[in-house]
């Protein structure tokens, strides 16, 4: 009778320890997602006639400041984000005298870009703006 219990216990362990999987996803994000510069933020908040101070308050400091052919200021925001996902799975069957197992994993990466160009007039007010977004 005791031998039956031991066999049942060992068979139960064999079935329960069949496979285990684990996944982890890593994403490169900014420290404060609320401050992220997005197309939606540009569409909703940037308007012709805004002051340069309001633009900075909304989008932060530009990456590039230059002038156009009329010596008027042009600001460029050039943002790049990389997303990295890693998933792995471990599996194995544990027996009384040893183990059979293995693991596998996959890495997936993607990138997003956002370029915003804001042109100012002589009074430091937004006269025009444009943006371009891509992901690959």
d(CA 65, CA 77): 9
Q: What is the mean pLDDT of the chain?
A: 80
Q: How far apart are CA 115 and CA 63, in angstroms?
A: 10
> Could you report the per-residue pLDDT of 21-39, keeping only the tens digit for each?
433 344 444 444 556 889 9
What is the predicted pLDDT for the residue at 131? 96
Rounded to 5°, the CA angle 75-79-81 comes to 175
pTM: 0.61
Which residue segments constitute the domains of the chain, with CATH numbers given?
21-91+102-135 (3.30.1450)
Q: Is 15 helix (H, G, I), strand (E, B) or coil?
A: helix
**Any idea what the Cα angle at residue 60 is, between residues 56 and 62, rounded to 5°?**
90
């Amino acid at each position: 009778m005791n031998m039956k219990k031991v066999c049942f216990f060992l068979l139960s362990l064999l079935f329960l320890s069949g496979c285990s999987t684990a996944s982890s996803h890593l994403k490169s994000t900014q420290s404060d997602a609320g401050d992220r510069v997005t197309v939606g933020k540009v569409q909703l908040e940037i308007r012709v006639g805004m002051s340069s101070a309001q633009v900075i308050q909304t989008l932060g400091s530009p990456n590039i400041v230059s002038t156009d052919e009329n010596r008027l200021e042009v600001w460029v925001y050039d943002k790049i984000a990389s997303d990295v996902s890693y998933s792995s799975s471990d599996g194995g069957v544990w027996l009384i005298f040893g183990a059979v197992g293995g693991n596998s994993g996959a890495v997936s990466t993607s990138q997003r870009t956002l370029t915003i160009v804001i042109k100012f007039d002589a009074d430091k007010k937004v006269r025009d703006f444009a943006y371009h977004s891509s992901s690959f």
